[in-house]
Amino acid sequence: MSCRACHSRCNRLVKRPKWYPTRLLDIGVSGDSTWALRTCSKEPPSSPNYMTLSYRWGSVPCLKLLRSNIEELSTGKPIRDLPLTFRDSIAVARRFSIRYLWIDRLCILQDSQEDWLKESSAMRDVYANSSCNIAAAVSSDPHGGLFRFRYPADIQPGVVQLKFSNLSQENFFIFDELYWDRQVSDTVLHSRGWVFQECLLAPRVLHFTEKQIFWECFNDRKCEGFPSELRFGRRLKDFEPLFGATAPRNVQDRLLSEFAYDLWIDFINAYSKCALTRSTDRLVALSGLAKLYQEATGDEYVAGMWRSRLPWFLAWYVRKPIPKSSSEYCAPSWSWASVGGPVLMPRITPSAIPLIDVFDVQITPSTGDHTGQLSGGFVVVKGCIVHSAYPGVLGPRWMKIGDDHMRLYVKEDTRNSNSEQSTQIYFLALICGPKSPDTSSILTGLVLQPLARSSDEYTRIGLFTVLDPAELKYFGVRLRGRKVMLTPEREDLLSVIKIF
């Protein structure tokens, strides 16, 4: 591959000496009719390269690796008995003279929780060390295959001939600025949560779509319609500033750089739209990407967010309340991973400042992997917290603060977040800054409910914003021009609280 020879950034994530997954499929060479499961520690691969496959499991029964058939699959099985997507992937790998293939349902024991936990924590290495990831973009299950009947005219760019008074007649190409999104990102495969990190971590991806094949690496994006380069469209697969000259963390204050922050919230804004069969996988299916980020930045990963910028990350919100999808614990209430749907995070506004001090963050992993599934967690912060009587319905409304009223806009996290209602709700100020092109709010904070067991313990139920500068006094701040000033009264308003 010319990418391997010419693109240094595409080889950056590969480990030296060569790393292999626990198991690989030995698919032989062109003309061979069988495949076999190989345990790499017992039978080291004869060549250093392997490919991976991203696909949808679907609901149709399909062969999978079990404790009862691991020996049988190790002796060899006919390729013709595999589902079509797997057979097509073997053909693609052989076309690149690659002998080994990694497919999750055939390389991870599907009836062993211990093996699943071990292997799921290694996804960063499985995909980052592959030669290329094959993405079955438009198949809803393993039987759908990679290849489609196609018409060349469908992928030709539109051409318009225009003649200007002072110029000769010219040909202009018409491009769809959402070309990549419509044909790749919006396909059925990319609605699957696990696929998000698979395609980002792999150094190269071949997307097999309805009309054409797309190529993506850390350096380029190409397709049959644009074989030289596909320049337009958003690129999440650009990690170079994390490793290059742009420092991932500011030297003086050790904060995550603005680039690293913005890239991560782009990840979360996109990933949170994806679906997962098990809600408890919400952090597990992102753990490989989290490991990469932690390696690059040195920051501390806490429940889907980064410690050094935690006041900003805590300001995530949902456009409308999300039904609580599961009673199973996924993450602390202050983490975006605690809700089962799309979230949005704010951009950093240069003139805005955080209004809380983070004293402590503790998370409890379900296993030894702190980037994976959690069983508990809390954050201890010092900030200005005010309370009001619970109004019954949250939204844009006047809230009674002592003898005064304050106009707030409240966004609930989940529809039934108030099922166990308290007579009081609390408002913790997070960030304050002047209005900007990106936001009309000047103060953002958390809406909290107290836990019955202690007077200083809370759980998050939503986010609030303040639009009127006159109401900043309740939180001990004011604006002077575009500068945020702390008032002398603020010290009397501060409390140390714990949020679960």
Task: Identify the sign of the CA torsion 373, 375, 380, 383.
Answer: positive
In this structure, is residue 211 part of a structural domain? yes
**String of DSSP letters for 173-187:** EE--TTHHIIIIITS
| Domain span holding position 306 | 245-499
Task: Identify the sign of the CA torsion 71, 75, 81, 86.
Answer: positive
Q: What is the rounded CA–CA span in Å between residue 110 and residue 96?
A: 29
Q: Are 266 and 198 members of one domain?
A: no
In this structure, is residue 169 part of a structural domain? no
Residue at a domain's end among 238, 260, 285: 238
Q: Are 196 and 100 members of one domain?
A: yes
Partners of 23 in the β-ladder: 39
In this structure, is residue 331 part of a structural domain? yes
Per-residue pLDDT, 273: 94
- Extract the tokens encoding 314: 């805590």
In this structure, is residue 480 part of a structural domain? yes
Residue at a domain's end among 199, 216, 238: 238
Query: CA end-to-end span of the chain, whole Å?
Result: 49
Per-residue pLDDT, 226: 86
Q: Are 250 and 391 members of one domain?
A: yes
Q: Cβ–Cβ contacts within 10 Å for residue 25, how many?
A: 26
Q: Are 305 and 233 members of one domain?
A: no
Residue at a domain's end among 238, 259, 275: 238
Per-residue pLDDT, 299: 93
Asked if residues 466 and 408 have their Cβ atoms less than 8 Å apart, the reply is yes
Beta-strand runs (E) in 195-328: 204-208, 213-217, 221-223, 301-302, 305-306
Q: Are 51 and 112 members of one domain?
A: yes
Per-residue pLDDT, 415: 72
Q: Are 288 and 421 members of one domain?
A: yes
What single DSSP character describes residue 281? G
What single DSSP character describes residue 341? S
Asked if residues 277 and 396 have their Cβ atoms less than 8 Å apart, the reply is no
Q: Are 217 and 327 members of one domain?
A: no
In this structure, is residue 89 part of a structural domain? yes
Task: Identify the sign of the CA torsion 185, 186, 190, 196.
Answer: positive
Best CA proximity match to 469, nearest among 453, 490, 483 = 483
Q: What is the pTM of this model?
A: 0.90
Residue 118, classified by CB atoms within 10 Å of its CB into exposed (0-12), middle (13-18) or buried (19+), is middle
Q: Are 135 and 32 members of one domain?
A: yes
In this structure, is residue 166 part of a structural domain? no
Helices (H) and strands (E) in the chain, counts: 13, 24
Per-residue pLDDT, 146: 97
Q: Are 307 and 435 members of one domain?
A: yes
Q: Are 365 and 229 members of one domain?
A: no
Q: Are 222 and 252 members of one domain?
A: no
Per-residue pLDDT, 245: 43
- Extract the tokens encoding 483: 């500068």
In this structure, is residue 377 part of a structural domain? yes
Ramachandran class of 254: left when φ > 0, alpha when ψ lies in -120 to 50, beta otherwise: left
Ramachandran class of 241: left when φ > 0, alpha when ψ lies in -120 to 50, beta otherwise: alpha
Residues of the chain with pLDDT below 70 are: 1, 13, 16, 165-167, 232-234, 243-254, 325-326, 390-403, 416-422, 437-440
Number of domains into which the chain is organized: 2
Q: What is the rounded CA–CA span in Å between residue 178 and residue 171?
A: 22
In this structure, is residue 168 part of a structural domain? no
Partners of 223 in the β-ladder: 214
Q: Are 194 and 272 members of one domain?
A: no
Q: Cβ–Cβ contacts within 10 Å for residue 297, how many?
A: 20
